[in-house]
Amino acid sequence: MLAGAAASAAETGASDWGTGESGKVRLISAATTPGETGQLRLGLQFKLEPGWKIYWRTPGDAGYPPKLDWGGSDNLANPQTHWPAPHRFVLSGLQNYGYVGEVILPLDAKAPDAARPVAAHLVVDFLACSQICVPQKVELRLDLSPGPAQPTAFAHDIGRFAALVPGDGRRHGLTLDSAQAMGGGDGSVLRLSVSSQAPFDTPDAFVEAEDVAAFGQPRISLSDGGRRAVFEIPISPGSLQKPLAGAPMSVTVTDGLRAFETTMVPVAVAAAAIDTSPGLGAMLLVALLGGLILNLMPCVLPVLSIKVLGVLGHGGGERAHVRASFIASATGIIASFLALAILAIGLRQAGAAVGWGIQFQQPVFLALMVVVLALFAANLWGVFEIPMPAFLFSRGGGTAHHTVLGHFLSGAFATLLATPCSAPFLGTAIGFALARGPWEIVSIFSALGLGMAAPFLAVAVWPDAALKMPKPGRWMIGVRKALGLALAGTGLWLLSVLMVQAGVLAALITGGAMAGAVGILALRHLLPSAARPAVGACVVALAGLALAAPFHGTAEGNPQGQVSGGAVNWEPFDPMTLARLISDGKVVFVDVTADWCITCKVNKAAVIERGEVAKRLSSPGVVALRADWTKPDEGISRYLASFGRYGIPFNAVYGPSAPDGIALPELPGEADILAAMDKAR
Whether residue 563 lies inside any domain: the answer is no
CA-nearest of 343, 295, 460, 319 to 396 is 319
Burial of 479 (0-12, 13-18, 19+ CB in 10 A): middle
Say if CB 147 and CB 33 are below 8 A apart.
yes
Cα dist from 677 to 183, 378, 472, 590, 623, whole Å = 21, 48, 54, 11, 11
**Distance of alpha carbon 466 from alpha carbon 383, whole angstroms:** 27
**Residue 561 pLDDT:** 42
| Per-10-residue mean pLDDT, the chain, length 681 | 45 90 95 89 96 93 92 93 92 80 96 92 94 92 90 93 91 88 82 92 92 88 87 86 87 94 82 51 84 72 58 61 83 90 76 65 86 83 61 41 71 75 66 72 90 87 68 66 80 86 88 91 81 83 90 58 65 86 90 86 89 93 92 81 79 88 87 93 87
The strand order across the sheet containing 77-81 reads: 18-20, 23-29, 39-48, 102-110, 77-81
Considering the domain architecture, whether residues 270 and 292 belong to the same structural domain is answered as no
CATH number at residue 79: 2.60.40
- Cis link prior to 65 (omega < 30° from 0)? no
Considering the domain architecture, whether residues 362 and 509 belong to the same structural domain is answered as yes
Domain's final residue, options 517, 552, 587: 552
Considering the domain architecture, whether residues 401 and 288 belong to the same structural domain is answered as yes
Domain that holds residue 178: 174-275
Whether residue 356 lies inside any domain: the answer is yes
| Total domain count, the chain | 4
DSSP class of residue 391? G
Give Rg (Cα) of the chain: 32
Phi-psi region of 191 (alpha: psi -120 to 50; beta: other; left: phi over 0): beta
CA-nearest of 560, 558, 664, 658 to 607 is 664
Query: How do strand 622-628 and strand 174-182 relate by DSSP bridges?
Result: unpaired
Considering the domain architecture, whether residues 579 and 669 belong to the same structural domain is answered as yes
φ, ψ for residue 142, nearest 5 deg:
-140, 125
**Distance of alpha carbon 111 from alpha carbon 280, whole angstroms:** 62
**Residue 607 pLDDT:** 93
**Residue 310 pLDDT:** 59
Considering the domain architecture, whether residues 542 and 654 belong to the same structural domain is answered as no
Whether residue 561 lies inside any domain: the answer is no
Whether residue 169 lies inside any domain: the answer is no
pTM above 0.75, yes or no: no
> Could you report how far apart the first and last alpha carbons of the chain are, in Å?
61
**Residue 282 pLDDT:** 80
**Distance of alpha carbon 297 from alpha carbon 500, whole angstroms:** 23
Quick one: the chain helix, strand, coil %, rounded to 5? 40, 25, 35
**Residue 5 pLDDT:** 41
**Residue 6 pLDDT:** 38
- B/e letters for 301-314, b = 16+ CB within 10 Å, e = fewer, are ebbebbbebbbbbb
Q: Cite the beta strand spans of 82-162 per DSSP E.
A: 87-91, 94-100, 102-110, 118-129, 133-144
**Residue 675 pLDDT:** 93
